[in-house]
Amino acid sequence: MTSPDKQSETSSETSYEFQAEVARLLELMVHSVYSEREVFLRELISNSADALDKLRYEALTDETLMSDDLELAITLIVDKSAKTLTLIDNGIGMNKAELVDNLGTIARSGTKAFIDQIKQSDDANKAGPDLIGQFGVGFYSAFMVAERVDVVSRRAGSDESFQWTSDGKGAFEITALEGERATGTSITLHMKEDALEFLEETEIRRIVHTYSDHISFPIFLKGEEQPPAKNESEGESEGEGASEDQSQPEDAQQQLNAANALWTRPKNDITAEQYKEFYHHTASAFDDPALTIHYTAEGRQLYTSLLFVPSMPPFDLYDAQRSAHIKLFVKRIFITEDAEILPPYLRFVRGIVDSEDIPLNLSREMLQNNPLLTSIRKAVTNKVLSELTKLASSEPEKYLRVWEHFGAVMKEGLYEDVERRDTLYKLTRFKSTLKELDTKVESQDPADAGWRSLEAYVKDMPEGQKSIYYLAGDNMDQLTASPQLEGYVARGLEVLLLADPVDSFWVSTAVGFEGKPFISITQGNAALDDIPVKEGDEPDKTKDSESDSDHSALLERLKTALKEEVADVQKSSRLVASPACLIASAQAPDRQLEKMLAQQKGGSMPGIKPILEINGSHAMAKALNAAIVDNKDQRFSDLAFLLLDEARILEGNAPKDPAKFTERLNRLLLES
């Protein structure tokens, strides 16, 4: 992350260039053609509300920052003659360094992704506002409507005030101001000619009501002061005797919002639209929530939760920090977003928890270990899982959309949260080979879309099947083409297809589901010989005319030829149409897990060799046996290594030695 470059400095004024990412972003904003430019006001009000929250929190430990009678509020001032709209808050404010950091850089990941998405959008009019909120760069949306922005700020506890000024064209200036000013921040937008509609009172009222009615601080509107009526009898001219005091008399201000915390209202008094706008505010998102969870817990503790499951994945869903985004309030006072109320595997959930019992004066370090918060964490996690379970049962189609976006994250809980593993098992959904089996099942999941629950899988297991079979890999195309599936499909045995990286880890620690262990079909003995092949799927026995002694001789020769590459060579019951496949021994990691562990170590797993299984009825086996009979050692060696490399390729891997692979292939082609 680059910092703004200082260009020049005088005693009171310093010029900077914007961080490169911000400069590119501002270019998009300045030349914006978005039809929903009104979101700029929502973003600026949201920032002001955050500043008020921060002041109230810091004042808990430093009473000098805020007087007891201070009313925290946001004020909008319209000046049509000057073509300006000003937003004032008496919140925490900013010092010079914070003005540089907060308004000259985007100090969060995803900036490049934001710019790429906004440029590549097929419909900029729709995508722009969505992405502005999603990536948290709302302040810069001011340049969609303003040709210049002035920010004046004084941080709580400081005597210094500064002004930040920019036209959004690559640079900004910061000037030290003289004289005493109130704590907080004012943002003055010098409106573009095509944005003057946002100076109309009716338009401002509409925008605030639509987007910011739930803000828990009052939002006041002060319009242009009307000149006092001319007193004909006294001959006073217009404006004579008007006060020059810039303070705002109470009767000159109109409150635009309800100004009470949405979660404190009865559920029956809150509309779906109000829930949606609150979600937009608290999550910096523009999608509609897929699930809203609003409840008050009473008993040993009193707290209220208002939580949302998004309908689209947040941009930081796979951020390495795996941070949750639940805001903790205590008696309506914002405390922190770092309380880790939900476990990492539920990090896609957004919202707030407001406790009546947690002490306000706890440090953030003490808060993490507070028994009251520990109890809230457990209860809220259980509630979210319970509501997801209800959704899966009552609205399976909607739940499948949630699973498609967040299932890979939720599966992290299968190895992280042993206590709730059984609950999570019931929420999991998997792709499988069911459609390949051509069999009727009793418990095909509603709104199927190719997804299967573990409950449905176990219920539909044929007689004699004692395990849940799975195949893990890099992607679904690779999995469905895997030769290891052939023997299971031929016998009508359903196999779960696991294509998420997390799958190889949770399934290796899973004990089982309803007494049925999870078995990888690429590991150990397939144990398929005792299960009959479905009628019509039997392999052509005429191709497998060689005797057991012939197979034994072939296996021994292959073991000798490939002894440096494989641990063993076996005749396969897994294969029907393919010539060969690789498996792991029962004691070694599953093939996909081994591959992932090897990637982490920067190469292959030392000391672990795969087992090569061959299809005795395949023409390749016949050609290898012919090479033995004809004493064609070079041909046998070429065929043996090509067989091994073919098995590697079918797993999605490259031949171990591409040059030798090409040499052997060319030699065989020229012989034919």
Is 542 a residue whose pLDDT tops 70? no
Is residue 444 one of the residues assigned to a domain? no
The pLDDT tens digits for 1-16 are 444 555 444 446 788 8
Phi, psi of 199, deg, nearest 5? -95, -5
Q: How far apart are the first and last CA of the chain?
A: 60
User: Is residue 195 domain-shared with residue 128, that is, in the same domain?
Assistant: yes
Distance in angstroms (rounded) separating the CA atoms of residues 456 and 444: 7
Q: How confident is the model at residue 435 (pLDDT cuts 50, 70, 90)?
A: confident
**Is residue 56 domain-resident?**
yes
Q: Cα–Cα distance between 470 and 508 in angstroms, integer?
A: 11
What confidence tens digit (pLDDT) does each residue in 646-662 have? 999 988 888 989 999 99
Residues 216 and 352 both lie in one domain:
no
Contact yes or no for 164/186 (Cβ under 8 A): no
Domain check: are 331 and 380 in the same one? yes
Mean pLDDT of 384-413: 96
Q: Tell me the CA distances in angstroms from 323 to 288, 326, 330, 345, one per residue in order.
A: 22, 9, 21, 9
Quickly tell me which residue has 């093939």 as its tokens: 591
Ranked by mean pLDDT, the top range of 100-114, 256-270, 323-337 is: 256-270
State residue 225's pLDDT score.
53
- CA dist., res. 531 & res. 492, Å (int): 9
Taking only the tens place, the pLDDT of each residue in 474-484 is: 999 999 999 99
pLDDT tier, 575 (very low <50, low <70, confident <90, very high otherwise): very high
Pair 45, 119 in one domain = yes
Q: What is the pLDDT of residue 319?
A: 82
Query: 348 with 333: CB under 8 angstroms?
Result: no
Question: Position of tokens 């599936």?
Answer: 485
* Domain's final residue, options 225, 256, 278: 225
Helices 371-394/396-410 angle, 10° precision: 140
| Mean pLDDT of all residues in 112-141 | 52
Amino acid at 484: Q
Q: What is the DSSP string of 201-219?
A: HHHHHHHHHHHSTT-SS-E
Is the pLDDT score of 76 beyond 80? yes
46, part of any domain = yes
For residue 593, the model assigns a pLDDT of 86
400: amino acid identity, one letter: L
Mean pLDDT of 311-321: 85
Domain membership of residue 506 (yes or no) is no
Confidence of residue 323 (pLDDT cuts 50, 70, 90): confident
Specify whether 59 is located in the same domain as 113: yes
Is pLDDT above 70 for 393?
Answer: yes
Q: How does DSSP classify residue 584?
A: B
| pLDDT value, residue 643 | 95
Judge whether 504 lies within some domain: no
pLDDT of the residue at 35? 55
Please indicate whether residue 632 or residue 601 has the higher confidence score (pLDDT): 632
In the predicted model, what is the mean pLDDT of residues 72-96?
95
> Is the confidence at residue 46, as pLDDT, over 70?
yes
Per-residue pLDDT at 444: 53
Do residues 562 and 640 make contact, with C-beta atoms less than 8 angstroms apart?
yes
CATH number of residue 193's parent domain = 3.30.565.10
Q: Are residues 302 and 155 in the same domain?
A: no
The amino acid at residue 247 is S
pLDDT attached to residue 195: 93
Residue 590 lies in a domain: no
Distance between CA atoms of residues 484 and 651, nearest Å: 10
- 39 is written with which tokens? 């979101």
Segment among 153-157, 360-364, 422-426 with least mean pLDDT:
360-364
Say what the pLDDT of residue 607 is.
Answer: 64
Task: Say how many domains are in the chain.
Answer: 3
Q: Which H helix or E strand runs over 292? A: strand 291-297
Give yes or no for residue 423 having a pLDDT over 80. Answer: yes
Secondary structure tally for the chain: helices H, strands E: 22, 23
151 assigned to some structural domain? yes
Cα atoms in the Cβ-side hemisphere of radius 13 Å centred on 468? 26
Asked whether residue 201 falls in the same domain as residue 275, the answer is: no
For 564, the domain range is: 542-584+598-671
Residues 279 and 157 placed together within one structural domain of the fold: no
Among the candidates 173, 196, 225, a domain finishes at: 225
The CATH number assigned to the domain holding 337 equals: 3.30.230.80
More confident residue, 378 or 605: 378
Q: How far apart are CA 39 and CA 23, in angstroms?
A: 20
- The residue from 385, 401, 417 where one domain ends is 401
Within 13 Å and on the Cβ side, how many CA atoms surround 113? Answer: 11
Provide the CATH number for the domain around residue 662: 1.20.120.790
pLDDT, average across residues 582-611: 81
Q: pLDDT (tens digit, 9 = 90+) per residue, 193-251? A: 999 999 999 999 999 988 888 888 999 999 765 444 444 444 443 333 333 344 444 44
301 and 205 within one domain = no
In a domain, 645, yes or no: yes
Q: Could you tell me the pLDDT band of residue 32, with boundaries at 50, 70 and 90?
A: low
The most confident of the ranges 159-163, 178-182, 510-514 is 159-163
199 shares a domain with 270: no
Task: Report CA 605 to chain centroid distance, whole Å.
Answer: 31
pLDDT over 70 at 606, yes or no = no
Closest CA to 332 of 283, 286, 265, 275: 265
220 and 269 housed in the same domain: no
Judge if 198 and 296 occupy the same domain.
no
184-191 vs 146-154, strand pairing mode: antiparallel
Q: Residues 30-41: what's their mean pLDDT? A: 68
